Structure 1
Amino acid sequence: MLDIGYALSRRFPDPPQTDYRSADVHALRHDLFCGDIYLADTAADRELSTAWGWVPVLDFAWALCDIAEELDSDPRGSRSPGPHRATLDFTESAELLRFTRRFGWVEITADWAPDDEGPLSFSHDELRREARDFLHDLVADLSDMHEGLQANPAVWSLTARFPRVPVP
């Protein structure tokens, strides 16, 4: 089972004068909510995680939802042999998370992970569902901590674009 999580950084706090209600997309994606993220395979007890403290976690959630959709662009869906590839670029470094979809399965690797560890592997449906759940849970957490964020039009658009996926 896929578990996606985050921890906000104490080293890189948001500027105290931030008006979260009117923060623009660039600020939401690149300047605010820095911390670390992880993707874990709970069944195999393995994870890919950052320990840098500066990853914009809302941008990560947003990009992960975009990637799940990008990997599903073939009209044949889970019948497509692929491979279909996508990367998540951490803009402050040269590190990448790499996603490869074959049929209905997605393998996830990280440039910083040891080569002897195999990729994490999940069904595409699970990746899409968990990425969207992570996004909505993260927005709820951040909204509890930052007054006005839930009223930000960019956040409304983001959560409307990627609604939660019901569990089958």
Structure 2
Amino acid sequence: MLDIGYALSRRFPDPPQTDYRTADVHALRHDLFCGDVYLADTESDRELSTAWGWVPVLDFAWALCDIAEDLDRDPRGARSPGPHHATLDFTESADLLSFTRRFGWVEITGDWPAARDEGPLTFSHTELRREARDFLHDLVADLTDMHEGLADNPAVWTLMSRFPRV
């Protein structure tokens, strides 16, 4: 089973003067909510995780949902032999998460040293889509509890309506 999680960084806090109600998409995706993220296979007890402290976690969740959709563009769906590729690049770094879909399965690999040692994680595309959207909704719920005004941000409304829970 796929588990996606995060931890916000204490070393890179959001600027105290931030008005979350009016923060633009660039700020939401690249400047705020820094921390670390992980993707874990709970059955094999393996994970791909960052330990940098500066990954914009909302951007990660947003990009993960985009990738799940991009990997599903072939009208044949799970019958498509692929391979279909997508990458998630981390801001301020050359490190990548690579996604390869073949039929209904997605293989996820990281190219930084600790991730290469771990090897690829494999999940069904359906599970990746569901868990990515659940992660996004859970993350936004956590962030709106912590940051006054974020729930009133139109960019957040648009994001949440674009990727409803499945």
Deviation at 1:114, TM superposition (A): 5.1
What are the Cα deviations for residues 61-112 of structure 1, in whole angstroms up to 9, with x where unaligned?
0000000000000000000000000000012110000000000000000001
- Which residue of structure 2 lines up, in the alignment, with residue 19 of structure 1? 19
Distance 2:12 2:118 in 1: 30
Distance 2:116 2:145 in 1: 39
Distance 2:64 2:99 in 1: 10
Quick one: which amino acid aligns to residue 74 of structure 2?
Answer: D
- Which residue of structure 2 lines up, in the alignment, with residue 124 of structure 1? 125
- Which residue of structure 1 lines up, in the alignment, with residue 147 of structure 2? 146
Deviation at 1:117, TM superposition (A): 3.5
Distance 2:117 2:133 in 1: 30
Distance 2:116 2:24 in 1: 39
Q: Does 1:103 align with 2:96?
A: no
What are the Cα deviations for residues 22-58 of structure 1, in whole angstroms up to 9, with x where unaligned?
0000000000000000000000000000000000000
Quick one: which amino acid aligns to residue 119 of structure 2?
Answer: G
Q: Is the 8 A contact 2:33 2:58 kept in 1?
A: yes
Query: Aligned pair count?
Result: 165
Structure 1 pair 135–114 and aligned structure 2 pair: CA distance change class (3 A): closer
In structure 2, the gaps of 5 or more residues are none
**C-alpha RMSD over aligned residues:** 0.8
Deviation at 1:115, TM superposition (A): 3.9
TM-score (norm 2): 0.98
SS in 2 for 1:59: helix
SS in 2 for 1:107: strand
Distance 1:115 1:24 in 2: 35
Deviation at 1:118, TM superposition (A): 2.8
The structure whose residues are more often helix, as a share, is: 2
Q: Does 1:43 align with 2:27?
A: no
- Which residue of structure 1 lines up, in the alignment, with residue 79 of structure 2? 79
SS in 2 for 1:38: strand
Quick one: which amino acid aligns to residue 60 of structure 1?
Answer: F
- Which residue of structure 2 lines up, in the alignment, with residue 134 of structure 1? 135
Structure 1 pair 142–114 and aligned structure 2 pair: CA distance change class (3 A): closer
SS in 1 for 2:11: coil
SS in 2 for 1:128: helix
- Which residue of structure 2 lines up, in the alignment, with residue 92 of structure 1? 92
SS in 1 for 2:148: coil
TM-score (norm 1): 0.96
Moved over 4 A (4+): none
Q: Percent identity, aligned pairs only?
A: 87
